[in-house]
Amino acid sequence: MTESPSEPLQPLDEAELRARHTHAYDYSHAIDFVPQRVVSLVPSLTESLFELNLGQRVVGVTDYCIYPEAARALPKVGGTKNPDIEKIKALAPDLVMLNSEENRREDADALQAAGIPIWVTQPNSVREAIELLWEIMEVFEEASMVHRVRLIEITYETMRRYAEQNPPVRAFVPIWRDPWMTFNAQTFAHDLLFTCGALNVFAARERQFPLAADLGKAEPLAADDPRRAGRDTRYPRITLEEVEAAQPEIILLPTEPYAFSEADALAFDGLDVPAVRNGHIYIVEGSWITWHGTRMARAFRHLPPVIAAARDNAEAPPLILPQG
């Protein structure tokens, strides 16, 4: 993409960043110290800390923090959904970083009860994810990688303008199978796809309750039904009949959280949709779609050419297989 921003882009106001750090789980409090010993319970944040020249301050990570290579040698504290609080306490962190979607509230509460400061994040858009990177550099007082975040920001603004001025490609991106599951417009993944030139065909689809209702086999609970209170509606379970009705021009099968493979593409054989007729079904590295943080730079580089090929009904690059 060769278009340049029409005017210089400025990072977020640093005074504003330092004044308020809003956390998910309804937590809202200031981080009024410079962290030196960090445990990261979020793989995308672990990678971002290293790529922002903060890896030397990370003292513990989850079993799923595999990027970069250096993170694999750090002490492990369990999974994202079942961290070992005692192991975390033994590492004497002055901050634990979490994400309200990947980590459980009860673990955040347990860390707070143990007197350990926490930072719970939840960027729901690319813009919010970029703001989080600026905020990390401000909180940690580390500015050596400003150019890396500026490049991500400039690339985002350029791509966003292009996406808003050109017709998007209708895309279906499942995140699970048996049953099929996807995401709607209230997610980071949806916004990243739009930035890269794709329109999520299930943007308006909310998850229904109970499960049978989500799959069209029962009446859904009413929106004001108390049994729906607090339920996450962002990840609907859908049928292949719904996929056919949505007429996607491209189908992207990510390698995580469900490890889709080329064999899974056979499930769409016989569907009368442009993606199948024109052969635009691709295996893609899942972290390019769902990880916020510095990994967005990889998504910006790899996803648009494949999406553009579906728009032009041209031959796309080879299947995008998992890689760092």
pLDDT in tens, the chain (324 residues): 333 333 333 333 444 433 333 344 455 456 889 999 999 999 999 999 999 999 999 999 999 999 999 999 999 999 999 999 999 999 999 999 999 999 999 999 999 999 999 999 999 999 999 999 999 999 999 999 999 999 999 999 999 999 999 899 999 999 999 999 999 999 999 999 999 999 999 999 999 898 888 888 899 898 888 888 878 889 999 999 999 999 999 999 999 999 999 999 999 999 999 999 999 999 999 999 999 999 999 999 999 999 999 998 876 665 554 445
Question: What is the CATH classification number for the domain harbouring 50?
Answer: 3.40.50.1980
Rounded to an integer, what distance in angstroms lies between the CA atom of residue 320 and that of residue 29? Answer: 41
DSSP 8-state code for residue 37: S
Burial of 224 (0-12, 13-18, 19+ CB in 10 A): exposed
Q: Please indicate, yes or no, whether residues 176 and 119 belong to a single structural domain of this protein.
A: no
CA separation for the pair 5, 26 (Å, rounded): 36
Expressed as residue numbers, the domain containing 51 is 14-147
- What is the pTM assigned to this prediction? 0.86
CA distance 227 to 296: 37
Q: Is the same domain home to 231 and 277?
A: yes
Which of the listed residues 112, 147, 182 is the one where a domain comes to its end?
147
Do 99 and 182 fall into the same domain? Answer: no
Same domain, 178 and 299: yes
- The burial class, CB within 10 Å (0-12 / 13-18 / 19+), for 73 is exposed
Q: Is residue 163 part of a domain?
A: no
Q: Where are the beta strands (DSSP E) in 204-275?
A: 237-238, 250-254
Which residues, other chains included, contact 227 with Cβ-Cβ below 8 Å and sequence gap of 6+? 209, 221
Q: Are 311 and 207 in contact (CB under 8 A)?
A: no
Residues 31, 143, single domain; the answer is yes
Q: Compute the distance between CA of residue 291 and CA of residue 48 in angstroms, rounded to an integer.
A: 10
Q: Residue 3 domain-assigned? A: no
20 burial via Cβ count (<10 Å: 0-12, 13-18, 19+): exposed
Question: Do 142 and 25 lie in a common domain?
Answer: yes
Q: Is residue 7, in this structure, part of any structural domain at all? A: no
My answer on whether 185 and 138 are in the same domain is: no
| Cα-only R_g, the chain | 20
Q: Structural domain tally of the chain? A: 2
183 and 284 inside one domain: yes
Nearest alpha-carbon partner for 94 in 119, 76, 71: 119
Residues 268, 180, single domain; the answer is yes
